[in-house]
């Protein structure tokens, strides 16, 4: 399967713990995006990378969230000191070329904060 | 930010044409309109994108009137496998952080 993969698919954690998610994009794609989706809502943009450079971050992204793409391939999203409001599906997508080109989404990581 | 509204849900019989309209009244001049399809427990999947007038591909058509304040996704002859949530997305060229997804339209195809 050469699509976008995410790991883990599900994560349950206690409030206050740190969590890290991984995304492996389609190999030749230079852009990588992170979104958050809560039940019944559309995806909400968090941040995106062009190669290893983080080009944009949502103003809604708190300081507890950080993302990296160290070698321009896979990316990690870390949430520190999780809160119950962080419970959501975290989606990763990748694209080739500009950010307005077709994005290919992974299956998501569902986070539940108890 | 563009404010996007879509019908919450629609029902259609198999074989019928379905039109889903998205309202984006304050779309900016350079914003693109994109539609995605999402099945439960999966990430969204790209359907079609346009800027103005009409765009057609192998699965759908997208109609955008001259004022661009709305757009209509047209799915010809739907089947049961088209049951999904459909999202309208406005992607601004002036900064991707301003990208806005609609709340989605849940389409139920009935046999």
C-alpha distance from A18 to closest chain B C-alpha (Å): 24
Distances (CA, A) of A94 to A78, B64, B77: 18, 26, 30
Residues 25-64 of B with CB under 8 A from A: 32, 34, 41-46, 49
Q: What is the pLDDT of residue A16?
A: 97
Q: What is the pLDDT of residue A60?
A: 73
* Mean pLDDT, contiguous 10-residue spans, chain A (114 residues): 90 98 95 92 91 86 92 94 96 82 92 98
Q: Of A26-35, B11-20, B95-104, where does the model show the most confidence?
A: B11-20
Q: What is the pLDDT of residue A72?
A: 85
Q: What is the pLDDT of residue B94?
A: 57
C-alpha distance from B108 to closest chain A C-alpha (Å): 15
């Amino acid at each position: 399967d050469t699509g976008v993969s995410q790991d883990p698919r599900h994560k349950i954690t206690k409030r206050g713990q740190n969590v890290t998610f991984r995304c492996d994009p389609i190999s030749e794609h230079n852009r990588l995006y992170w979104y958050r989706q809560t039940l019944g809502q559309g995806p909400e943009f968090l941040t995106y990378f062009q190669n290893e450079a983080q080009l944009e971050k949502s103003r809604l992204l708190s300081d507890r969230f950080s993302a990296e793409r160290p070698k321009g391939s896979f990316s990690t999203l870390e949430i520190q000191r999780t809160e119950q409001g962080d419970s959501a599906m975290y989606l990763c997508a990748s694209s080739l070329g500009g950010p307005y080109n077709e994005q290919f989404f992974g299956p998501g990581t569902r986070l539940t904060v108890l | 930010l563009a404010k996007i509204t879509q019908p919450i849900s629609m029902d259609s019989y198999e074989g019928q044409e379905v039109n889903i309209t998205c309202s984006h009244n304050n779309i900016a001049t350079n914003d693109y309109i994109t539609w995605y399809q999402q099945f439960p427990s999966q990430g969204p999947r790209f359907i079609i994108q346009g800027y103005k007038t009409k765009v057609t591909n192998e699965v759908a058509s997208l109609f955008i009137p001259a004022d661009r304040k709305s757009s209509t996704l047209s799915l010809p002859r739907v089947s049961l496998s088209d049951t999904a949530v459909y999202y309208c997305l406005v992607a601004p060229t002036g900064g991707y952080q301003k990208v806005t997804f609609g709340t989605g339209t849940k389409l139920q195809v009935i046999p």
